[in-house]
Amino acid sequence: MPKVLARILDGSAIAAQIKQEVAEEVKRLAAQGVRPGLAAVLVGHVPASEIYVKSKVQTCRELGLYSDLLTPPDTVTTEDMLDVVRGLNDRDDIDGILVQLPLPRQVETKVLLDAVLPDKDVDGFHPVNAGRLQAGRPALAPCTPAGIIEILKRSDLPIAGQHAVVVGRSDIVGKPMAMLLLHENATVTICHSKTRDLGAVTREADILVAAIGRPGFVTPEMVKPGATIVDVGINRISTREEFDRYFAGNAKRLAGFEKRGSTIVGDVHPAAYELAGAYTPVPGGVGPLTIAMLMSNTVRAAKMRRGL
């Protein structure tokens, strides 16, 4: 019997759909005299963060949202940053506040994130939004988990009644992911580094979400044949030994690796994808949804703040 090829879930195409919907909603709001606004706070000069924030600001421009970029120096103190956030909290033209992480060591990250008004917390990190999400009330949910739900729904993959296993328990992905799946009527198991016989648990998953931050951590023997695999990981590898561990024999990937000196691998070993019924690739899977959902959250925040 011929092997059935796993279905690749195209995150870029789904992100493009969501952005188009956001642009249309922005036009509708403009007719009511409302223009959603996003403020991004980028401290110092971290090249990866600069590229990411630039992409967010550019996307705002493309979709018709107002954007403001604030760039405090990397010598900034917690109190200085709190003043920046308070100023943004008070501005009526700003509906969403994004503080780009990581912050310099001298800045107390949790204190700062807690200072953002929950109604403007488009990253969904504030304890109030976490509580609203847990209680099933209207909330701004973290962008990556919210994007994963969109991938599953828009790909017509069933969630209700499925056994979903989330590997990773971070406040940003793992915990909110489990809660969103639960709200969609999945049966949810959360695993982590202390889970005994992890493979036995992941092999039960109809939907397997890997968000543990370790390259190629989920191996083929940990996957149930036909499962939907959602790979949240983005891990950069730069040695030939690492490359061969994950991509041996992949000539196209090798050409890119040799040209750039590095490539990225998810939290799932590429060999495990072959067992899946459907999977999100790395890159081009979950990643593009994060910015799309940030735009969606900003529009949602603008509407919620105004009771629209």
- Write the pLDDT tens digit of every residue in 12-50: 999 999 999 999 999 999 999 999 999 999 998 888 888
pLDDT at 84: 97
pLDDT at 243: 94
Q: Do domains 33-118 and 141-287 have the same CATH topology?
A: yes
CATH superfamily, region 33-118: Leucine Dehydrogenase, chain A, domain 1 (3.40.50.10860)
Host H or E run for residue 58 = helix 47-63
Average confidence (pLDDT) over 97-106: 93
pLDDT tens digits, residue range 45-85?
A: 888 888 889 999 999 999 999 999 999 999 999 999 999 99
Question: Is 252 among the catalytic positions?
Answer: no
Average confidence (pLDDT) over 269-289: 96
pLDDT reading at 4 higher than 80: no
Could you tell me the pLDDT band of residue 128, with boundaries at 50, 70 and 90? very high
Average confidence (pLDDT) over 233-252: 93
pLDDT at 1: 45
- Determine the CATH number of domain 141-287: 3.40.50.720
Q: Select which of 95, 121, 123, 231 is catalytic.
A: 123
Average confidence (pLDDT) over 195-200: 96
Q: Give the single-character DSSP code of 264.
A: E
| End-to-end CA separation in angstroms for the chain | 55
**Percent of the chain's residues with pLDDT above 90:** 93
Averaged confidence pLDDT in the chain? 95
For residues 285 and 166, what is the distance between their CA atoms, to the nearest angstrom? Answer: 17
Question: Is 93 among the catalytic positions?
Answer: no
Question: Is 123 among the catalytic positions?
Answer: yes
Q: Which one, of 221, 242, 233, 132, lies nearest residue 173 by Cα?
A: 233
Q: Select which of 56, 120, 175, 224 is catalytic.
A: 56
Could you tell me the pLDDT band of residue 3, with boundaries at 50, 70 and 90? low
pLDDT at 301: 97
pLDDT reading at 158 higher than 60: yes
Q: Which one, of 217, 230, 214, 221, lies nearest residue 162 by Cα?
A: 230
Q: What are the distances in angstroms from CA 81 to CA 18, 37, 94, 99, 273?
A: 32, 20, 17, 10, 43
pLDDT at 106: 95
Q: Select which of 19, 95, 100, 224 is catalytic.
A: 100
pLDDT at 2: 47
Structural domain spans, the chain? 33-118, 141-287
pLDDT at 308: 86
